[in-house]
Structure 1
Amino acid sequence: MPTDSPSTRARELWEGLAGVPVSFPPSGGVRVVVSPESGLCPPGWTGVVVLDGSAIVTAPSEGTAAVVRDALSGRRADAEAIRDALPTAGVLGPAVLAYLSPEGFRPAAASATVERLPGHHQALRALEGAAGREDADEASLDDITSPAFVVRERGEVVAAAGYRTWPRRTAHLSVLTAPVARGRGLGRRTASAAVAHALGAGLLPQWRARPAASRRVAAALGFEELGAQLSVEIVPGSPG
């Protein structure tokens, strides 16, 4: 596998975020490590990342790691199968992880004028309000470190995209479209502009999504789904 391929770069990203030395095992394997400071999940939770058919799992303590290892013994490296095998008090995901190479990029046709705004612009907060809390939280536009690429209609921003710079020169994409403007390709158009900006800076575009509509936009731009991320809160006192 080329050292600069999206798959290799994605593995290096998540291995670094694990917070302790760990590497993805051979295909089909699951590797569990203890990492209280893991970047794979919220504090105190268990984080799971599956890439190319293998998984790394971080647990916040030795006791939790023992529970996880016991539950996952003999299990395949599949995010949904891992989720179903664990004794969970809370779950986030799984969300699909998709990546893009410069050669695979399929820019959107210029069907709408895309404007560039500062990432903290108030118009983005208005868009989040129109989209609703659930969709706004999913998109996380308030986290972007890049410019925002937006489409306006009647003076109001109805679609926006940008990215947050992550470690290992990764660009984590955020895309949001107002409910009244969906289904017309505006999300794809703004996302295309954000992706072009990230690739121009030599970054690896990363698309993390659960909704099918978001995954379709990513696929249309050339993103390849390589795995998934999952965060699990293990039931307290589960036997190890």
Structure 2
Amino acid sequence: MIKFKTKKRIFSLLQGRNLSRFKGEGLDFREFREYSFNEDAKKIDWKISAKINKPLVKEYDEERELRIILCIYATPSLYFGIDLLKSEYIQNLIEILGIEAVKEDNKIQTVILKQEPMIFKPTKNIKTHIAFTRKLGEIDFFNVQKGDLKILNRFKKSLLVLIGDFFEEIDLSYLKHETFVIIIRDIYEENPPFRGDITLLDPNSKQDVNINFSEFDAKRIKKHIEEIDKKNYIHFKKLKIPFTKIYTNENPIPKLIRLFK
């Protein structure tokens, strides 16, 4: 299994963006301190104060970490790859993104969006996150059925990283999250190298298809994908959603750094 490494912090580049509404809203108790006469008396903890016969108030630290959701938009077409399956590449990508997020003191949550979604608990522990990513290797992407993106609105407003191959038009207009899109492709999907009589496995019908693949067929597939991409790109730009396309033969780090800049 390939491993991605980076010396640069990925999510720290987001600090210039207005992300305060996606940070933790809770308060962590730090300590008791003595009440000052010019403070609001409502802050006094009367129960503790009565025990020691001295007015005390609680001191809190505001949660500052970002809430980050890493979501795989699962489709059967992720079970494809000449040298490496897209699903395997995404597993590695999820791992490095989660590790970097936790290193920067953020809380990470992984979601595999399929008909019966897999939702892992939020964590700030690298070992726990890696254990979650290992479970991605157990998913039968070839037989997966697509889930409903609207489920993501059940979560608190977060920084959402949506990952998939997106071979269809997708509507993200109803999502309430600060969304980033990562498109994962095998380079041969857009530029098929094979010609002549071949047998292909249709990931949707799960049937072998015997075809005579010509130069015309290759150009038609490429044009079809370009049209879908163009429509999605226009949609993303209209919603001001940052996006990038990464091929499975690439080191993703440079594009990730630009994406979250």
Same fold (TM over 0.5): no
Q: State the TM-score, normalizing by the size of structure 1.
A: 0.31
- Between Structure 1 and Structure 2, whose CA radius of gyration is higher? 2
Higher relative contact order (CA 8 A, sep 6+): 1
TM-score for both structures, normalised by structure 2: 0.29
